[in-house]
């Protein structure tokens, strides 16, 4: 009798291991061979846009007459969902920007201090900032022809690489550029974007091309961005000391 129960238990455990292994293999295959690549890349873009903390690095070139002309190069962080810090070069000028909700923090090179301005009052420069934003290129209204083309690493994270066409919602980008082509590196487990390469054709000069590359890492690492002290706050502090 005891041997019969032992055999039954062994059979049940063996069957559970086989079923569990089969389900694990099926789940693994589903992750690395998605049935709906469009759904995967759509979710990855949304998850990236909604991620509260990450670090990023972006490079924005325009290819003119066969030469790559640098528009901007930035590295930075997003903290708590609403705070951004960008530091790099834009139009050959060193630039550092903090953005907290609708508030910009900008450096005044003449007064050697920081000042703030509401995003709504920023004027035409805000359009350029939207163009260089690491997230603006992930804000799309339509994704077409998404296909998985390979598996590659991005900063040591194994990713699916997908190619697709998309309709960009950034008005400045769509005014100047058309036919946006994407190459996206997606972590199939966490379903976030780790790298994106976007190219587009100029509306005014079809031989000119936009080339934008952005990388994301350190998702949800509780990154802290320390805002600079504004000039008025500095003056008030100095007055109190006097």
In the chain, the domains with their CATH numbers are 39-217 (2.50.20.20)
Other CB atoms within a 10 A radius of the CB of residue 96 amount to 15
Residue 224 has pLDDT above 50, yes or no: yes
Cα angle 227, 231, 236; round to 5: 105
Q: What is the pLDDT of residue 90?
A: 86
pLDDT tens digit sequence for 133-174: 778 888 898 898 899 999 999 999 999 999 999 988 887 788
* Secondary structure, 3-state, the chain: CHHHHHHHHHHHHHHHHHHHHHHHHHHHHHHHCCCCHHHHHHHHHHHHHHCCCEEEEEEEEEEECCEEEEEEEEEEEEECCCEEEEEEEECCEEEEEEEECCEEEEEECCCCEEEEEEHHHCCCHHHHHHHHCCCHHHCEEEEEEEEEEEEEEECCEEEEEEEEEEEECCHHHHHHEEEEEEEEEEECCCCEEEEEEEEEEECCCCCCEEEEEEEEECCCCCCCCCCCCEHHHHHHHHHHHC
Asked if residue 217 has pLDDT above 50, the reply is yes
Taking alpha carbons only, the member of 53, 62, 117 closest to residue 85 is: 53
Structure tokens at 164: 């697709």
Cβ atoms within 10 Å of 146's Cβ, excluding its own: 20
Mean pLDDT across 61-83: 89
In the chain the first and final C-alpha atoms are separated, in Å, by 94
pLDDT of residue 239: 40
Task: Say whether pLDDT at 191 is over 80.
Answer: yes
On the question of pLDDT at 234 being above 90, the answer is: no
More confident residue, 202 or 130: 202
Q: Are 62 and 71 in contact (CB under 8 A)?
A: yes
What are the structure tokens assigned to 163, written together? 């190619």
Name residues whose C-beta falls within 8 Å of residue 128's C-beta, 6 or more positions apart in sequence.
90, 172
For residue 225, which of 106, 73, 99 has the smallest C-alpha distance? 99
């Amino acid at each position: 009798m005891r041997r019969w129960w032992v055999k039954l238990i062994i059979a049940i455990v063996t069957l559970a291991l086989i079923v569990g292994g089969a389900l694990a293999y099926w789940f693994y295959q589903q992750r690395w061979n998605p049935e709906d690549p469009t759904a995967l890349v759509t979710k990855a873009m949304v998850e990236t846009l909604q991620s509260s903390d990450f670090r990023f690095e972006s490079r924005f070139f325009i290819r003119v007459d066969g030469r790559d002309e640098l528009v901007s190069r930035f590295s930075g962080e997003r903290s708590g969902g609403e705070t951004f810090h960008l530091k790099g070069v834009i139009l050959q000028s060193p630039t550092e920007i903090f953005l907290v909700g609708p508030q910009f923090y900008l450096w005044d090179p003449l007064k050697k201090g920081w000042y703030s301005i509401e995003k709504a009052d920023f004027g035409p420069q805000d359009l350029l900032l939207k163009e260089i934003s690491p997230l603006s290129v992930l804000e799309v209204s339509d994704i077409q022809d998404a296909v998985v083309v390979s598996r590659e690493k991005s900063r040591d994270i194994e990713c699916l690489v997908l190619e697709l066409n998309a309709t960009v919602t950034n008005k400045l980008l769509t005014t100047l550029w058309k036919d946006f082509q994407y190459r996206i590196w997606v972590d199939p487990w966490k379903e976030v974007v780790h790298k994106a390469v976007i190219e587009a054709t100029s509306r005014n000069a079809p031989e000119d091309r936009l080339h934008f590359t952005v990388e994301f890492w350190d998702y949800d690492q509780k990154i802290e961005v320390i805002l600079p002290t504004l000039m008025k706050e500095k003056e008030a502090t100095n007055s109190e000391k006097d």
